[in-house]
């Protein structure tokens, strides 16, 4: 069973301009790697299924480009507001 998402990362495609957000679990790491052609890479601490790897590159859901910019990282507890 997968853990609950605890943070959200907003992305922007530098190719088509599309913006979107994905939610990630506590053990996931979202990093920008590379100097000349930077890519946004996700490192998962736990394997979710046998047919997906522990590392993957974020690509645009519209144009499939991998020239992606991280716009923001927001803990979901902050996005939801104060908890009672």
Contact 42, 24 (CB under 8 A): yes
Q: How confident is the model at residue 52 (pLDDT cuts 50, 70, 90)?
A: low
Given a cut of 50, is residue 29 above it in pLDDT? yes
- The kind and range of the H/E element at 69 are strand 68-75
Query: How many angstroms separate the CA atoms of 68 and 82, rounded?
Result: 31
Between 29 and 54, the more confident residue is: 29
Contact 78, 8 (CB under 8 A): no
Query: How many angstroms separate the CA atoms of 64 and 68, rounded?
Result: 10
DSSP alpha helix (H) spans, the chain: 76-80
Global confidence as pTM: 0.79
Percent of the chain scored above 90 by pLDDT? Answer: 58
pLDDT at 1: 45
């Amino acid at each position: 069973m997968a853990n609950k998402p605890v943070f959200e990362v907003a992305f922007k495609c530098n190719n088509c301009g599309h913006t979107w957000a994905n939610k990630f679990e506590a053990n996931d790491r979202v990093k920008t790697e590379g100097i000349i052609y930077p890519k946004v890479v996700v490192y998962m601490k736990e394997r979710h299924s046998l047919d997906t790897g522990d590392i993957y590159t974020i690509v645009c859901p519209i144009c499939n480009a991998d020239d992606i910019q991280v716009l923001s990282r927001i803990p979901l507890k902050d996005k939801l507001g104060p908890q009672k």
